[in-house]
Amino acid sequence: MPQLVTVKVNRPDRRPVRVWVPVLPLVLVLFPVVVLVVLAAIVACVVFRIGVVLALGAAWRVISALPGARFDIEQGRTAVLVAIR
């Protein structure tokens, strides 16, 4: 599971923005929202006749595989970096 998401934004004539997001504390803070999202996903699975366990398992695999992903985009003096650890 991802532990830390780093977001860096550099824009010309503005101060660079660097944000480190600890995932686990954020999930704990947003726990009620997470529960609602999971419930909505379960309802969607039932409506579209998709195996709930299979779908939740696949979604968990995607979340678990996120660490190591890195997206770095630069254009001129503007740069955006998103790194998941």
Partner 1 sequence: MTEQRKDILDMLAAGKITAEEAEQLIAALERDQAPATASHDARSKGKVKYLRVVVDATDNGEPSRVNVRVPLQLLRAGVRLAALVPPQALVKANASLSDSGVPIDLTQLKPEQLEALVEHLDEVTVEVDSPDATVRVFCE
Binding residues (CB under 8 A) for partner 1: these are: 48-51, 54-55, 58-59, 61-62, 64-76
How near is the Cβ of 65 to partner 1 at its closest, in Å? 4
- Exposed, middle or buried by CB within 10 Å (0-12, 13-18, 19+), for 9? middle
How near is the Cβ of 13 to partner 1 at its closest, in Å? 15
Whichever of 39 and 46 has its CB closer to partner 1, that residue is: 46
Map tokens 């944000």 to a residue.
Answer: 19
How near is the Cβ of 71 to partner 1 at its closest, in Å? 5
Looking at residue 65, what DSSP letter applies? Answer: T
The C-alpha atoms of residue 55 and residue 57 are separated, in whole angstroms, by: 5
- Of the candidates 10, 34, 14, 12, the one whose C-alpha atom is nearest the C-alpha of residue 82 is 10
Whichever of 29 and 44 has its CB closer to partner 1, that residue is: 44
Whichever of 15 and 61 has its CB closer to partner 1, that residue is: 61
